Chain A
């Protein structure tokens, strides 16, 4: 798949995600209409439409807020900015995206934004502490590739829209639980029927959310971003080392929800247990790191050692 094909595929998927969201809002409005009449139904439809349009244009800022990322200036991080400058030039970007930081000791990174010009790259404090310059360059190249391949608009939009789907789903489940009261107000006769409508909508919601995420996250895009990054830095081994370091690190980033998990370079929901683990499996958005490292090893004709040298010890690994 070429870059152009990937960009086209992403545009198509963006439309699908928006359509799925519109369908969802319409069905909820329909259910509300059946329950409470045409006035409130139209109101819900209006709210949904306004939120959809707002989410489309403000998704970048919303994701920053959801993940607790704050912008970093060039003065604060001159070296990291230098790395992302060179990576962006090698990727043929018009300008380097600004850097954001999430204060978290777990190493991870992602990119978000609606257009290449408004996109940004987020790294955690932990990533900077863990990675050598070469590895960090690989990670930044991976994120810049997501921006260049136009993956970020789709991923960002999915995060924002899926977030609200989860919210509505939760709300409906509550309404269902306390189902009786809503029906009685309108008259006892048709409360069973209303109950059914609500149940159906709720049943539709969860899979729809899953489908939206899956569309946003074919696992192939992670392989493609890895391949692009290797081409950009001309150093597949650097990225492979970075991925191995992520694999060996078992800390996980806090403040991750189902809606934002797919953004990160490494899945942040690895350590989930119980029902959370089951859900994480459903939403399995990342290919295993070992498989991604394997592809890079094959491409670069090298093999990583099982253990890694200490971060910052440049001498031992740049050979």
Chain B
């Protein structure tokens, strides 16, 4: 009789353990999902701004067609990218293309002085700050999630419940490292 009780006790303990681990993985996955949604919002906002900026520059420098096309293509690539890693790379290309566009704009003092252009430029740089911030949060949540599903004992359950490793939103190598700050006093 006691053997049965011991077995029941063991099963109950195991079930509780599985439940705790499962809930933790779900919570971390949800955090990563939220993090990705945040990046997505900011990427869309920037993609909405870009046509206006291209139009503004076109008004002064219509012949710089190559630059405009590069920006438009990079923008489409970001919108169509599959998965965080691909989106991250497309994002880097778009940043580079935008850099060239603004370099072109430098040569047109009237454009640089235009109220509309300045406003757009300001909004773009604000949005880029937010993309960087959202990226930091997302990559931190991915790191936590991946650590959680790859360590024992959760690693035994991750496959069963279909928790797969997440991709980082591509970032410069230096950006990916999170500072380890100890607060033990």
Binding site for B on A (CB under 8 A): 1, 82, 85-87, 89-92, 219-220, 223-224, 226-227, 230-232, 234, 236, 287, 291, 295-296, 298-300
Contact = CB atoms under 8 A, between A and B. Distances in A.
Interface residues of B, number: 24
Q: Is the interface of A mostly helix, strand, loop or mixed?
A: helix
B53 interface: no
A93 B137 CA distance: 10
Q: Is the interface of B mostly helix, strand, loop or mixed?
A: helix
Interface stretch (B73-81, B98-106, B158-166, B177-185): B177-185
B129 A236 contact: no
B185 A219 contact: yes
A90 B133 contact: yes
B146 interface: no
B126 to A, nearest CB: 6
A223 B185 contact: yes
26 contacts: A85-B130, A86-B129, A87-B133, A89-B38, A89-B137, A90-B137, A91-B137, A92-B31, A92-B34, A220-B183, A220-B185, A223-B185, A227-B181, A227-B182, A230-B179, A230-B181, A231-B140, A231-B178, A234-B136, A234-B179, A236-B179, A287-B185, A291-B185, A299-B179, A299-B181, A300-B179
Given A82-B126, A82-B129, A234-B175, A89 B181 contact: no
Contacts of B175: 234
B34 A296 contact: no
Nearest to A222: B183
A300 B34 CA distance: 28
A231 B177 CA distance: 10
Given A91-B137, A92-B31, A92-B141, A86 B181 contact: no
Contacts of B140: 231
A295 B31 contact: no
Nearest to A91: B137
Given A90-B136, A223-B185, A227-B182, 10 more contacts: A82-B129, A85-B130, A86-B133, A89-B42, A89-B134, A223-B183, A227-B181, A232-B136, A234-B136, A299-B180
Please provide the 4 A-B residue pairs with the shortest distance between their CB atoms, ordered closest to farther. Answer: A223-B183, A227-B181, A90-B133, A299-B181
Given A82-B126, A90-B136, A92-B31, A231 B183 contact: no
A299 B34 CA distance: 28
A42 B117 CA distance: 69
Contact of B181 (A82, A87, A91, A226): A226
Most buried by A among B42, B126, B134, B136: B136
Nearest to A221: B183
B168 to A, nearest CB: 14
Nearest to A92: B137
B88 interface: no
A227 B185 CA distance: 12
Contacts of B133: 86-87, 89-90
A230 B180 CA distance: 9
Interface string B100-137: 00000000000000000000000000100110111011
Nearest to B136: A90
A231 B34 contact: no
Nearest to B174: A234
A237 B185 CA distance: 20
B134 A227 contact: no
Interface string B16-56: 00000000000000010011001000100000000000000
Contacts of A232: 136
A288 to B, nearest CB: 11
A243 to B, nearest CB: 13
A231 B180 CA distance: 8
Contacts of A299: 179-182
Contacts of B31: 92
A82 B127 CA distance: 10
A224 B136 contact: no
